[in-house]
Amino acid sequence: MVEQALSTSMTAGERGLAVRRITMQDIPDALGRGWADFLAMPTHALFLVVIYPVVGLLLAAATASADIVPLLFPLVAGFALLGPVAAIGLYEVSRRRERGEPVTASDAFGVVRSPALPAIVELAALLAIIFVAWLVAAMVLERAIIGPTRAGSIVDFVTGVLTTSDGWTLIVAGHAVGFVFAALSFAIGAVSFPLLLDRGTDLRTAVMTSVRAIRENPKVMAAWALTIAVLMAAGSVFFFIGLAIVLPVLGHATWHMYRKLVP
């Protein structure tokens, strides 16, 4: 009996927790619930994510004035890989609101008291590693396809990329490689952070549950990933200002998608 119990436990950890089958209708429903959470406490949400557009602006300014102008787009695109980390506090807000508990600004930082904090930090570090790996891959691609780029303005670089065959090769190759990194990041973090915060599971179980959620709902989760990408892109327009609204809404919506996926 003991050996059977241990075997069952190991199997659950390797495969992750059970997940539900969801439908396309769950995406707008989760977004609607996320929007409702944001409207209920917009001050808290904006306070949590104000650093996101600010850091984005600083990265853009630093890149534009340095010799790494070609990395501006990879920085902006890859920054979305860290979105789940920035939204951890939002999951806690949605969790408390779902339970009918009063929520204050300080409650949003309740994650620091979570028993799963070490696993959360490890997962955040893993996503940071993926982000750095994406930047390195983008730099290698740029050097391999169009060669070393002399310092210049963003306009000069963009013009050179859009008006040359090598530039279009870089665009296609960059998007293909970027898709791989984005898919990996999404598979790892689709429900991992909310699950760790909510149930305090170990990191392996959280990641495997996230992968299982995608495997059991490939079309819906692909549509959810595309929705996130489109909204993040829209929020990045006008110097990332829109992210101050898009990120908290997506953060809250991710919590509700987690609730739909994991019984």
pLDDT tens for each residue of 160-216: 778 888 888 888 998 899 999 999 999 999 999 999 989 888 999 999 999 999 999
CA distance linking residue 253 with residue 32, whole number of Å: 8
Residue type at 93?
A: V
CA distance linking residue 26 with residue 194, whole number of Å: 17
Q: How confident is the model at residue 1 (pLDDT cuts 50, 70, 90)?
A: very low
The residue among 97, 112, 108 whose CA lies nearest residue 40 is 97
CA distance linking residue 232 with residue 49, whole number of Å: 13
CA distance linking residue 182 with residue 80, whole number of Å: 9
Find tokens 């870089």 and name the residue: 170
Residue 53 has pLDDT above 80, yes or no: no
Say how far residue 162 (Cα) sits from the centre of its chain: 28
In eight-state DSSP terms, residue 190 is S
Joined tokens for residue 81: 């890989």
